[in-house]
Amino acid sequence: MAWQRLGPGGIAGKHSLYLQRPSTVARIPLCSIPKRQFHTPGIYSLAGSRKYKGAGHIPQLNTPRQSYKPYFQSTFTQRLGLHTPSVKNGGVNLEPHGKFPRFWLRENCQCPDCIHPITRQRMLDTFSLPEDIQTESVDIRTENVSVKWSDGHDAVYPRSWLSDHKLPPALEPSQEVLNFRDFRFVSGNQGHPTVEYQDVMESTKGLANWLKEIVSYGYCMVRGVPLEPEATQGLLERIAFIRNTHYGGFWDFTSDLTYKDTAYTSESLGVHTDNTYFSDPARLQLFHLLSHTGGEGGESLLADGFRAAAVMRTENEANVKTLIDIPQPWHSSGNDDVCIQPYQPFPVFERDELSGVLQRIRWNNYDRAVKVDWEPHVAEQWYSAARHWNEILGREDIQIKMQLEPGTALIFDNWRILHGRTAFRGKRRMCGGYINNDDFISQYRLLNDGREKTLNNIGTLDARLTC
Ligand SMILES: C[N+](C)(C)CCCC[C@H](N)C(=O)O
Ligand SMILES: O=C(O)CCC(=O)C(=O)O
Ligand SMILES: [Fe+2]
């Protein structure tokens, strides 16, 4: 059964009925409701339930329409398996290192037969192990904790590995609408975070420091970049390969509509993130103004999306929820040979589900497509939140304006910082490129944290939140 809307009363999911109450959402398992009654369109009431009171209209809908997704889902902890923070049954006691799930511990043996020492891939055939595998003996006194298992395997676990993979204490999803990772913001008049081209090109330390600046400030200037486009390309390639898109890989562009997009005109562009229409928008974007002759204008605009979202949270929390909950369609269809859209509609704010940390902002009003699958009152709610967002982004203390100069490149986090430009006249030549999230983060971590820590942190909450 598809999602259906129950009027103002609530919504019906596959397994549950969600009744909206003033501050919470009550989840009623469908199995507790007589099926016949539920499938019948019309007024549905929960009069039969002593626990929940509420009523809703179940319309007969051929196409499921999108409704307002309840923000706090009562099934959250179950879905993420966060129910049992401690290993109650079947845990192996390796105190003082902790208690670990039994099958998990066998499966995660760190010996070179189980984990390929060169490729770091799992060599062990997990499902060839008996499900009820047991420990025969445990020795925690050795440097590598050793465990003898009932399948005859002598397993080893480095102490540092055990402490890095301990079960975290009880995990509860954040009740905050939105949280933020550590980030710093400088306003234009305090000067911009800046590094030297030579440092980035010549030393790993210089490169590591550049990436760190991008992660903490969201953007960074690079000074002393030679004016041959190849130098800018080489600079980007210090981080990772340049992402190829329908605009090409490394771009060298001007206002000649080579590609049918307003970026290739001299018109002004309000602040936006690029690639809203990709399932995986590029994480980094670099611009280097190579020349601008015969006219003026074309100043660059930057707005810190994190700071703007934090402002919105203090001014109107419900608007933040709306921009998290209501996904939008996005597209890129200017050129005759493309019509790009992501595999699903995406909301303006995407959060880490557990911590509530804001991970990605998608905002480009030029590239927003026409949304049809929503109820009129949901649409109104979204437009009102989007109007608030747009207004915050335009505020003087949120937007930075700067005139790029040949020789200084600007790189920014396209998941956080919005960019735009004022209209211009004359001939303006810009080069640059995009870099993917995963390749950037890999470099950032390896260079700043080292390989051991990075590998030990894979998949942890910590690793998700550093950037
Ligand atoms: C390739 N280059 C950066 C020059 C232009 C990209 C065009 C911007 C596009 N509307 C978007 O939002 O992604
Ligand atoms: O011309 C500029 O300064 C930036 C244009 C733009 O937004 C883009 O190319 O993505
Ligand atoms: Fe852009």
Ligand 3 centroid – CA 127 distance (Å): 48
Whose alpha carbon is nearest atom 4 of ligand 1? 263
- pLDDT value at position 250? 98
Whose alpha carbon is nearest atom 13 of ligand 1? 274
Q: Is the C-beta atom of 340 inside 6 A of ligand 1?
A: no
Ligand 3 centroid – CA 264 distance (Å): 10
- pLDDT value at position 137? 94
What is the C-alpha separation between 11 and 27, in angstroms, rounded? 10
Query: Concatenated DSSP letters for 254-318?
Result: -SS-SSSSGGGSSS-EEEE-S-TTSSS--SEEEEEEEEEES--B--EEEEEHHHHHHHHHHH-HH
E-assigned strands of 343-407?
A: 349-351, 358-361, 399-402
Ligand 3 centroid – CA 378 distance (Å): 29
Q: Do residues 359 and 350 make contact, with C-beta atoms less than 8 angstroms apart?
A: yes
Which atom belonging to ligand 2 lies closest to the Cα atom of 420?
A: 7
Average pLDDT over residues 268-276: 98
Q: Do residues 37 and 55 make contact, with C-beta atoms less than 8 angstroms apart?
A: no
Residue among 232, 246, 247 whose CB has most ligand 1 atoms within 8 A, to mutate: 247
- pLDDT value at position 3? 38
Whose alpha carbon is nearest atom 11 of ligand 1? 274
CA 237 from centroid of its chain's CA atoms: 23
Predicted confidence (pLDDT) at residue 55 exceeds the cutoff of 60: no
- Residue 449: how many CA atoms within 13 Å on its side-chain side? 18
Whose alpha carbon is nearest atom 3 of ligand 2? 421
* DSSP summary character for residue 114: T
E-assigned strands of 59-165?
A: 91-93, 99-101, 135-139, 144-149, 154-158
What is the C-alpha separation between 16 and 3, in angstroms, rounded? 10
Q: Which ligand minimizes its atom distance to the CA of 245?
A: 1
- Per mean pLDDT, which range of 183-187, 245-249, 383-387, 393-397 is the poorest? 183-187
Comma-separated ranges of CATH 3.30.2020.30 domains in the chain: 91-164
What's the whole-number average pLDDT of the chain?
A: 85
For residue 51, count other CB atoms closer than 10 A to its CB: 8
Q: Is the C-beta atom of 325 inside 6 A of ligand 1?
A: no
Q: Is the C-beta atom of 300 inside 6 A of ligand 2?
A: yes
Ligand 2 centroid – CA 432 distance (Å): 10
Q: Do residues 342 and 330 make contact, with C-beta atoms less than 8 angstroms apart?
A: yes
Q: Which residues have a Cβ under 8 Å from the Cβ of 448 and sit 6 or more positions away?
A: 208, 211, 212
Whose alpha carbon is nearest atom 1 of ligand 1? 247
CATH classification number, 174-467, choose in 3.60.130.10, 3.40.50.300, 3.40.50.2000, 3.30.450.40: 3.60.130.10
Percent of the chain surpassing pLDDT 70: 79
Alpha carbon of 248 to those of 175, 260, 329, 331: distances in Å?
43, 13, 23, 17
* DSSP summary character for residue 188: G
Assign residue 277 a region (left: φ > 0; alpha: ψ between -120 and 50; beta: otherwise).
Answer: alpha
- pLDDT value at position 456? 87
Q: How confident is the model at residue 403 (pLDDT cuts 50, 70, 90)?
A: very high
Whose alpha carbon is nearest atom 5 of ligand 2? 263
**pLDDT tens-place string over residues 196-243:** 999 999 999 999 999 999 999 999 999 999 999 999 999 999 999 999
What is the C-alpha separation between 15 and 2, in angstroms, rounded? 10
Q: Which residues have a Cβ under 8 Å from the Cβ of 358 and sit 6 or more positions away?
A: 178, 179, 180, 181, 306, 309, 349, 350, 351
Q: Do residues 457 and 334 make contact, with C-beta atoms less than 8 angstroms apart?
A: no
Comma-separated ranges of CATH 3.60.130.10 domains in the chain: 174-467
Q: Is the C-beta atom of 301 inside 6 A of ligand 2?
A: no
- pLDDT value at position 202? 98
For 79, the token pair is 């879905």
Q: Which ligand minimizes its atom distance to the CA of 266?
A: 2
Predicted confidence (pLDDT) at residue 374 exceeds the cutoff of 60: yes
**pLDDT tens-place string over residues 101-113:** 999 999 999 999 9
Ligand 1 centroid – CA 398 distance (Å): 22
Q: Is the C-beta atom of 421 inside 6 A of ligand 2?
A: yes
- pLDDT value at position 319? 97
Q: Is the C-beta atom of 445 inside 6 A of ligand 2?
A: no
Q: Is the C-beta atom of 304 inside 6 A of ligand 1?
A: no
- pLDDT value at position 382? 97
- pLDDT value at position 119? 96
Predicted confidence (pLDDT) at residue 68 exceeds the cutoff of 60: no
- Per mean pLDDT, which range of 24-28, 254-258, 323-327 is the poorest? 24-28
Alpha carbon of 121 to those of 110, 111, 124, 245, 459: distances in Å?
11, 12, 9, 31, 15
Q: Do residues 24 and 53 make contact, with C-beta atoms less than 8 angstroms apart?
A: no
Q: Which tops the pLDDT comparison, 117 or 55?
A: 117
**ipTM associated with this complex:** 0.98
- pLDDT value at position 357? 93
Which atom belonging to ligand 2 lies closest to the Cα atom of 289?
A: 3
Q: Which CATH class is domain 91-164?
A: alpha beta
For residue 412, count other CB atoms closer than 10 A to its CB: 23
For 390, the token pair is 């747009």
Q: Which residues have a Cβ under 8 Å from the Cβ of 116 and sit 6 or more positions away?
A: 122, 123
- pLDDT value at position 44? 40
What is the C-alpha separation between 465 and 80, in angstroms, rounded? 17
- pLDDT value at position 186? 80
Q: Is the C-beta atom of 409 inside 6 A of ligand 2?
A: no
**pLDDT tens-place string over residues 454-466:** 998 898 767 777 6
Predicted confidence (pLDDT) at residue 39 exceeds the cutoff of 50: no
Average pLDDT over residues 6-12: 52
What is the C-alpha separation between 286 and 220, in angstroms, rounded? 10
Predicted confidence (pLDDT) at residue 22 exceeds the cutoff of 50: no
What is the C-alpha separation between 257 and 264, in angstroms, rounded? 5
Ligand 3 centroid – CA 421 distance (Å): 9
Q: Is the C-beta atom of 355 inside 6 A of ligand 1?
A: no
**pLDDT tens-place string over residues 71-98:** 444 455 555 555 444 565 668 999 888 8
Average pLDDT over residues 353-361: 91
- pLDDT value at position 283? 98
